């Protein structure tokens, strides 16, 4: 199968969101979150995408600019929330 390359234009908020998801899914290249690795895993069926919280999706769409500090704070808050859920279920945190 031949490789097909397509371009898409997105603003900074969407690129940061992609990098955040890539980091959360442990998709790294040279030590940095890689959205290309993320999309490759999704295309191969290794990762499945589902929208669980529509309010967060609307928040991302409404707000166009995010500072790096806000993105890191949000990532840490989500990590702590997920760790709390795992501990409550009796699963070792990552």
pLDDT in tens, 14-38: 788 888 888 888 888 888 888 888 8
pLDDT at 63: 62
Mean pLDDT of 34-59: 77
Q: What is the pTM of this model?
A: 0.47
Residue 75 class from Cβ within 10 Å (0-12 exposed, 13-18 middle, 19+ buried)?
A: middle
Whether the predicted pLDDT of 1 surpasses 60? no
Whether the predicted pLDDT of 46 surpasses 60? yes
Token representation of residue 61: 């769409």
DSSP 2-56: ----------HHHHHHHHHHHHHTT-EETTEE-HHHHHHHHHHTSS------HHH
Note whether 37 and 27 are within 8 A (CB): yes
pLDDT at 5: 66
């Amino acid at each position: 199968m031949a490789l097909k390359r397509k371009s898409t234009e997105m603003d900074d908020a969407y690129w940061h969101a992609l990098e955040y998801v890539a980091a959360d899914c442990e998709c790294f290249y040279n030590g940095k979150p890689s959205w290309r690795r993320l999309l490759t895993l999704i295309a191969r069926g290794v990762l499945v995408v589902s929208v669980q919280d529509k309010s967060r999706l609307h928040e991302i769409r409404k707000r166009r600019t995010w500072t790096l500090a806000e993105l890191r704070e949000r990532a840490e808050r989500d990590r702590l929330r997920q760790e709390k859920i795992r501990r409550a279920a009796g699963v070792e945190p990552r």
